[in-house]
Amino acid sequence: MKILHLDTNHPLLLKQLQELGFENHEDYTSTKSEIEAKIHEYDGIIIRSRFTIDKQFLDKATNLKFIGRVGAGLENIDCEYAEEKGIVLISAPEGNRNAVGEHALGMLLSLFNKLNKADKEVREGKWLREENRGIELDGKTVGIIGYGNMGKAFAKKLRGFEVEVLCYDIKPNIGDENCKQVSLEELQKRANVLSLHTPQTALTTNMIDAEFIANFSNPFWLLNTARGKSVVTKDLVEALKSGKVLGAGLDVLEYEKKSFENLFTDQEMPKAFKYLINAENVLLSPHVAGWTIESKEKLAQTIVDKIKENFVNL
């Protein structure tokens, strides 16, 4: 079986697939149309987020048996059409879930203790202790929306704190020793912190809007290490201005392209984003919550293991 690799990944991916008997081909520079012209030659493709795998692409991939996405989500792939064609879709949320959990916790603690603000001020020669008095996580109620690999990893990281952890998910009976599953209404009534760990779907796109925020009983802190389009940024900015949202840690933004590699589709910076980059109670990172040295290896290993499980010695 021939596999076309469209993005660079950890070297173990190529090495172990070769050892399993696969023929690896690499093409990290050709245009999408150039790839489409030869994709019929391949049984599998490995991609991160270089471009969208749409119907046109899939129609040309006449021999394709699987798509391996070295990441957690599959939103850059037309999954329904691929499955209609009998193509196996392989992702690797197990590979970077720990990294996401640690990143979310790091963002929360940094916001609570004003670390980004204090660091900047000290570098400017300002020694402002009272202005940087923080708050403690103990005693708070943390709400998690989306209790899959990422949500569970974040809940596990919170075990060292005296906090109550609640989760809401469309799937029933997924609570565990680290988190109590509740209705969305109960989560909104009780949470002091909200952390998003959902995929990008029709249900989650623009989910965090003005109405959603208004339904929270308490002012709360927002963390988003999931997908940027889940949050309506202009509504978040209004909530930050009013104090309904006390602060935000955003690893993702709604302005990202589908490739996740670029921020804007045009050169005009949105007004809401201008507010975020100047807000002292907002922490931003460039879609790197699951992007660690360790996760790069674990993501690749997960893809290899799943390909082996599905396509070796059948």
Report pLDDT for 73: 86
Residue 298: per-residue pLDDT: 97
Give the residue extent of every domain in the chain: 2-91, 97-284
- pLDDT reported for residue 204: 94
Question: 35 exposed, middle or buried (CB, 10 Å; 0-12, 13-18, 19+)?
Answer: buried
Using only C-alpha atoms, the chain has a radius of gyration, in whole angstroms, of: 21
Query: Given this model, what pLDDT does residue 231 score?
Result: 98
Report the 3 state secondary structure along the chain: CEEEECCCCCHHHHHHHHHCCCEEEECCCCCHHHHHHHHHHCCEEEECCCCCECHHHHHHCCCCCEEEECCCCCCCECHHHHHHCCCEEECCHHHHHHHHHHHHHHHHHHHHCCHHHHHHHHHCCCCCCHHHCCCCCCCCEEEEECCCHHHHHHHHHHHHCCCEEEEECCCCCCCECCEEECCHHHHHHHCCEEEECCCCCCCCCCCECHHHHHCCCCCEEEEECCCHHHECHHHHHHHHHHCCEEEEEECCCCCCCCCCCCCCCCCCCCHHHHHHHHCCCEEECCCCCCCCHHHHHHHHHHHHHHHHHHHCCC
Confidence at residue 257, expressed as pLDDT on a 0 to 100 scale: 75
Residue 225's pLDDT is 98
Fold of 97-284: Rossmann fold (3.40.50)
pTM, entire model: 0.92
pLDDT at 265: 61
Task: Tell me what pLDDT residue 260 has.
Answer: 65
Looking at 48, 69, 97, 227, which residue is catalytic?
227
C-beta separation of 285 from 103 below 8 A: yes
Q: What backbone torsions phi and psi does residue 118 show, to the nearest 5 degrees? A: -65, -40
Q: Tell me, yes or no, if 256 is annotated catalytic.
A: yes
The answer to whether residue 159 is catalytic is: no
Distance CA 65, CA 52 (A): 17
What pLDDT score was predicted for residue 175?
96
Catalytic residue among 97, 256, 268, 309, which? 256
Q: What is the pLDDT of residue 7?
A: 95
2-91 against 97-284: fold identical: yes
Q: Whole-angstrom Cα distance, residue 65 to residue 72?
A: 20
* pLDDT for position 261: 66
For the chain, list residues with pLDDT below 50.
none
- CATH code matching the domain that covers 2-91, chosen among 1.10.3720.10, 3.40.50.720, 3.30.70.140, 3.40.50.12160: 3.40.50.720
